[in-house]
Amino acid sequence: MNPATSRRTFLTASAAMFAASRMEFGATADDPREFKIGVASYSLRKFSRAQAIPMLKQMNVRWVNIKDFHLPLNSTPEEIKTARKEFDDAGLILEGCGNVTFNKTDDDDIRSKFEYAKLAGFPLIVCAPTHETLPRMEKFVKEYNIKIAVHNHGPEDKHFPTPQSVLDVVKNMDPRCGLCIDIGHTSRTGVDIVESIRQAGPRLHSMHVKDLSSTTAKESQCDIGDGILPFVAIFKQLHKMNYTGGVMLEYEIHETDPMMGMQKSLAFERGLMAGLKG
């Protein structure tokens, strides 16, 4: 048997056993000193909010980052209030919203998105700005006391392909201006994921995680644990630097039937988290 395959099989099985024990005996309270394993609701983009919420509960998810599929950016204050109550009633904790595009050098447009986040109670906006809009956003971060986490989108992104390209811009901005490292996109640019996390330090406000069977191929995404991205090293680095932000599963495959793969991926992550405590 291939040693790498054998190792992945063992780790996945161990993670699944850990996840099952949590669901059987009840998850312990969140430790504020630990990072938060959750889901980016983009993973459930083919499902309405009414469908997505019970799916998240079935996966034993507490932390969620809300994509506008599940709470449109143009929602009225009353619609936002209703949605927030639905999330709260389900026991979901809103890590933030996003990915939100900021491509207009228009303060009114920027303000409208911060107002949306404020009304919904999002402490964080995962965002895709341009080099022109990102500097303008800093004053709104200060005014609204809402963090921004710039999401790097890989080789195709002409603005922020890598974590380093984000850090180069935000390094002298308000500390609430940081980044959301997408490890799949980061891998495809050829930079070291773990070193990128280390370099980000306190500027790392959120993460989107997925696995790839090829470090350079976007279409090679697979369930976490079945690929080759260095999850053990990633989790060890996050633990070492006392990261307490979100590690949000962004599952982009099997979009009409994602549950089994998402549950498997989350179980793998929970198993790794348990190993850090062992």
pLDDT tens for each residue of 158-171: 999 999 999 999 99
Give the per-residue pLDDT at 19: 43
Average pLDDT over residues 252-263: 98
Cβ contact 179:151 at 8 Å: yes
Average pLDDT over residues 101-114: 98
What the chain holds in terms of domains, given with CATH numbers, is 32-208+230-248 (3.20.20.150)
The pLDDT confidence band at residue 113, using thresholds 50, 70 and 90, is: very high
Q: Give percent of the chain with pLDDT exceeding 70.
A: 88
The pLDDT confidence band at residue 2, using thresholds 50, 70 and 90, is: very low
Half-sphere exposure at residue 77, Cβ-oriented, CA atoms within 13 angstroms = 3
The pLDDT confidence band at residue 32, using thresholds 50, 70 and 90, is: low
Does pLDDT of 261 surpass 90?
Answer: yes
Q: Which residues contact 36 (CB under 8 A, 6 or more apart)?
A: 30, 62, 63, 93, 95, 244, 245, 246, 247
Predicted TM-score (pTM) of this structure:
0.90
Instruction: Choose between 206 and 31: higher pLDDT.
Output: 206
pLDDT tens for each residue of 190-219: 999 999 999 999 999 999 999 999 999 999
